Structure 1
């Protein structure tokens, strides 16, 4: 994403060295495990946003790097715990902590990373208000993940999906942009604008991630002659599926049949609000009689139908709306340095 000679690329390289140094000595075993997780790949997008936002004012590594490290460490902790919940065997092409060391060590590693995140925040010199922003983000991530877990195997509404990803993903992107701007002594109104830009970037990022689960896995599925879409296999219905289920009785029924024939259903009853919102949003074509019978439904069929009836296109359109919202907010900040604006445009173009 970054030109290797750009300020952001150079700072990210220096940031990685800073982060490595934070996991030396002390508890050697947990530091070693934590390092393996933190340096297992990843785009470093959240720390990049802290750095980019810090470029708006008086950039100071001594302030920016602890914040970027705290946010990246918090994010990594959530991934370790997610992998336990999802019983994931690999992440980014590498064996997960829970698979390699067992659930107990994985839980301790996630907790250790969370503790380190708090320690890094303490070193950052943030105001009480901005510390509260990050703390609230951590709390909302938990709420978003619990919402995702409780709503497995359920066709939730689009609005509920958006609320969930705002909590699960958007808030940490928002905090990344806000604390970077704050640490570089930007005006309060600019900190708030950057927080809104970060939220929109985070939502677009999550939708992009949901689309990749379909598009990449569909290609792999056809190549390997087996379905591999991870989200729906875990009972998580993402935006393309939800859009398609709104539009087509066939897709909705196929999804429900897939869950039934897989022997996987949610034990709790539908939340009444979810049911009402889904019905209100739904515009299902009741004349669609080509429903695949239970037992014949598989992931590949569902994905093909989702693509065919526009679920993927609808999700891309919504993603682009959030990208455009970020661009509109950027236009309200004419005083933003060109290098900062160009770096944010690179992120938006990549999304």
Structure 2
């Protein structure tokens, strides 16, 4: 339901998104039946396609041409898909979006090579753009995304990590790729540098808000809504903002500390989720997400009023208020 509401906000882009979806299917096509099946399994599991949407909307501020825009939108979504496959291996995740992950459906080896294949396809597609600045921004983004994955591994089970570590991690994990989607969409459509900079910052701020809300929903949404067990982040050792806020309560801290690195029963998992959900931590985390949301909206206020500007604003509000 929530995903349907989101899609209604950018329904005007449906014809272009259908083109991108077909391009994605072609991109993951392989002579290997195994690679083909695993890649399609991931693609057909769906997704919000937020990154391609922001590429297209940013392009509306310049000389919009779908044949050019798709050359950026497709590789950015492929990079995101590849990171998801690798994430599921690292976190030993069995379910994503209510479907078995590639590693669960096949195995870790197939998942890793599928992620590598999808990433290689992204690099192949981006070569169609003859703009060195685009390649420079994208390569820097990919390096930072990889650094973010390593930092996440290093920070696992560190209940005493500081807020700065968390923010640095989600910046690289989520915000930078959304930021690049906005910036590259602007640049490839020929906008001026000032417009591209505002869109880049909008993408960064909304990406931070998006990830914080994701981390909140891991405790406030149901298993069915999430398409995976609530509290999965904590069970996988990923210390997110709600946990960082909740640990200030000595009683909650003691429970969290005692259950880290434990093979939790379903009842124990639900108990921890309820404890976080009913604490002030959720409200504190939402306030931080709101601050990033307001910063994102401020960046849009510097840009010309248009249908694209309005749609970006509506998506930003949706991201900041979504329930799952």
Same structural fold, with TM-score higher than 0.5 when normalized by the shorter chain: yes
2:145 paired with 1:141: yes
- Within 1, Cα distance between the matches of 2:39 and 2:234? 29
- Within 2, Cα distance between the matches of 1:233 and 1:5? 35
Gaps of 5+ in 2: 1-5, 320-324
User: Is the CA contact 2:245–2:285 (under 8 Å) kept in the aligned structure 1?
Assistant: yes
User: Is the CA contact 1:147–1:164 (under 8 Å) kept in the aligned structure 2?
Assistant: yes
User: Is the CA contact 2:215–2:240 (under 8 Å) kept in the aligned structure 1?
Assistant: yes
Q: Secondary structure at the match of 1:58?
A: coil
User: Is the CA contact 1:23–1:32 (under 8 Å) kept in the aligned structure 2?
Assistant: no
Structure 2 match to 1:298 = 268
The correspondence for 1:343, drawn from 311, 320, 323, is 311
2:203 paired with 1:198: yes
2:104 paired with 1:114: no
Shift of 1:124: 2.6
The correspondence for 1:240, drawn from 239, 242, 247, is 242
Gaps of 5+ in 1: 222-226, 265-294
Shift of 1:302: 3.1
Structure 1 match to 2:65 = 60
Between Structure 1 and Structure 2, how many residues are aligned?
310
2:34 paired with 1:32: no
Structure 2 match to 1:286 = none
Shift of 1:188: 0.8
- Within 1, Cα distance between the matches of 2:298 and 2:180? 19
Quickly say closer, same or farther: Cα 1:308–1:105, change in 2 above 3 A.
closer
Larger Rg: 1
Alignment of 1:172-183 (within 5 A): 172-183=177-188
Quickly say closer, same or farther: Cα 1:25–1:108, change in 2 above 3 A.
closer
- Within 1, Cα distance between the matches of 2:70 and 2:212? 28
Shift of 1:5: 8.2
Shift of 1:143: 1.1
2:136 paired with 1:132: yes
Quickly say closer, same or farther: Cα 1:119–1:305, change in 2 above 3 A.
same
Shift of 1:104: 1.5
User: Is the CA contact 1:258–1:299 (under 8 Å) kept in the aligned structure 2?
Assistant: no
- Within 1, Cα distance between the matches of 2:72 and 2:284? 36
Structure 1 match to 2:293 = 323
- Within 2, Cα distance between the matches of 1:28 and 1:340? 40
Coordinate RMSD, CA, aligned: 2.3
User: Is the CA contact 2:10–2:311 (under 8 Å) kept in the aligned structure 1?
Assistant: no
